Amino acid sequence: MKSLSWRYLLGRVARLALTIWIALTLMFVIPRLGKSDPADAIMAKLAESGGSGNQALVNSLIERFGLNEPLWRQYLNYVWNTIRFDNGYSMSQFPTQTNSLVAQAAPWTFGLVIISTLVAFAIGTVIGAAMGWRKTPRWLARILPGSLVFSSLPAFMLGIILLFLFSQVWPLFPFSGAYDPLVPPGWNLPFVSSVIRHGALPVLSVVLVQMGSWAIGMRGAIVNTSGEDYMLLAEAKGVKPWTLFHRYAVRNAILPQFTALGLALGTAASGVVVVETVFAYPGLGSLLYRAILANDYSVIEGISYLLILGVAVSVFILDLIYPLLDPRINYGRK
């Protein structure tokens, strides 16, 4: 395998920077396409606190957020502040800083995303491998496809069904939230148990929907691998079926799955936005939903930048380490 060249690395870094810049520009433009004005959110917030009559205060807040400046200057300030992770204050929850809101919500989303994605990947990959392996027992091959029936449903719709069944009909799990507010947060058994109970249904709704795609991808890879010459040769040499399955078929077929896993971990956070809203889960999804309703540019841009940066960096890292996973791929062109 060829060593990593500076030309290759600089090209990938330039592509990463271009991707982030385009994403930043779209994040700036899209929220401003609506007819509502963020100044209205500021005035509504002041009205709730009884300060709506103070026009000087309203004008000072509009100036503080830079809403009185030309659009091009707002754009330059926004790009410069965003790349420095300086997202300023929330327009709808002033004087709370955007980074503080994001920092409170991010651990819940990342925990939900990482756990649900890894569980869906593991279960789906095992099911797909068994479905694609021609020597799988018939009874098992007939049962396995039934586990993928929920894959055609949107995660939020399945979440509503799970809420109805296991929070209303059979009240086994809490209806909303991330933990019981009566339990003091900390690394103690009551709090951890409460977090697990509150997160069980959101995780289950994502896992049941996602594992179908992992299973289908792995099944196709196993079917293709089973027809390779080295598989036929190993079988002709009398290699045991179990060894042939997990050391030859699965080991060679799982590489694209790991590539997709890296991308999924980067993009899955944006996919749980509606799921978090359904379960009133205090993650980035719920925070983004409230920010969109309030036309809170700062929070919308801060969350979107974090999600897009995660996707871009995931692709960048995968691009660099993929030759380590597959020696047939070189860093440079021949």
- Per the prediction, the chain carries an average pLDDT of 76
The 8-class DSSP code of residue 186 comes to S
pLDDT at 1: 43
> What are the distances in angstroms from CA 34 to CA 28, 75, 295?
12, 17, 9
Domain membership of residue 67 (yes or no) is: no
Tell me how long the chain is.
334
Task: Tell me, letter by letter, the H, E, C secondary structure of 86-109.
Answer: CCCECCCCCCCEHHHHHHHHHHHH
The answer to which of 25-34, 192-201, 274-283 has the lowest mean pLDDT is: 25-34
Q: d(Cα 320, Cα 328) in Å, to the nearest integer?
A: 14
Residue 216: pLDDT band (50, 70, 90) is: confident
Best CA proximity match to 130, nearest among 4, 250, 39 = 250
Residue 159 confidence (pLDDT) above 70? yes
Gyration radius of the chain over CA positions: 25
Best CA proximity match to 270, nearest among 221, 244, 307 = 307
Query: For residue range 2-47, what is the model confidence (pLDDT) as tens digits?
Result: 455 677 677 778 888 888 888 888 877 776 776 555 556 566 665 6
Domain membership of residue 146 (yes or no) is: yes
The answer to which of 2-6, 203-207, 311-315 has the lowest mean pLDDT is: 2-6
Report residue 182 as tokens.
């009566």
Q: d(Cα 159, Cα 280) in Å, to the nearest integer?
A: 11
Q: d(Cα 333, Cα 330) in Å, to the nearest integer?
A: 7
| Contact status, residue 94 vs residue 108, Cβ threshold 8 Å | no
Q: d(Cα 7, Cα 11) in Å, to the nearest integer?
A: 6
Domain membership of residue 212 (yes or no) is: yes
H helices present in the chain, as ranges: 6-29, 38-48, 55-64, 71-83, 98-132, 138-143, 155-163, 189-226, 229-236, 241-243, 250-253, 255-271, 273-278, 284-293, 297-325
Q: Domain of 155?
A: 98-293
Q: What is the mean pLDDT of residues 280-287?
A: 82
Residue 275 confidence (pLDDT) above 50? yes
Of the chain, the percentage scoring pLDDT greater than 90 comes to 0
Domain membership of residue 238 (yes or no) is: yes
Report residue 229 as tokens.
């010459």
Q: d(Cα 218, Cα 20) in Å, to the nearest integer?
A: 31
pLDDT at 51: 53
Evaluate the omega torsion of the peptide bond into residue 323 and state whether it is cis, within 30 degrees of 0.
no
Q: What is the tally of structural domains in the chain? A: 1
- The CATH number covering residue 202 comes to 1.10.3720.10
Domain membership of residue 273 (yes or no) is: yes
Q: What is the mean pLDDT of residues 232-242?
A: 77
Amino acid of residue 44 = A
Helix (H, G, I), strand (E, B) or coil at 131: helix
Q: What is the mean pLDDT of residues 312-322?
A: 74
Q: What is the mean pLDDT of residues 176-184?
A: 78
Q: d(Cα 179, Cα 46) in Å, to the nearest integer?
A: 31
pLDDT at 258: 76
Domain membership of residue 80 (yes or no) is: no
Enumerate residues 6+ apart whose C-beta is below 8 A from 152.
212
pLDDT at 208: 85
Q: d(Cα 283, Cα 198) in Å, to the nearest integer?
A: 13
The rounded Cα 308 to chain-centroid distance in angstroms is 10
Evaluate the omega torsion of the peptide bond into residue 95 and state whether it is cis, within 30 degrees of 0.
yes
Residue 171 confidence (pLDDT) above 70? yes
Report residue 6 as tokens.
């500076």
Domain membership of residue 323 (yes or no) is: no
Only one residue has tokens 């965003």, namely: 82
Domain membership of residue 105 (yes or no) is: yes
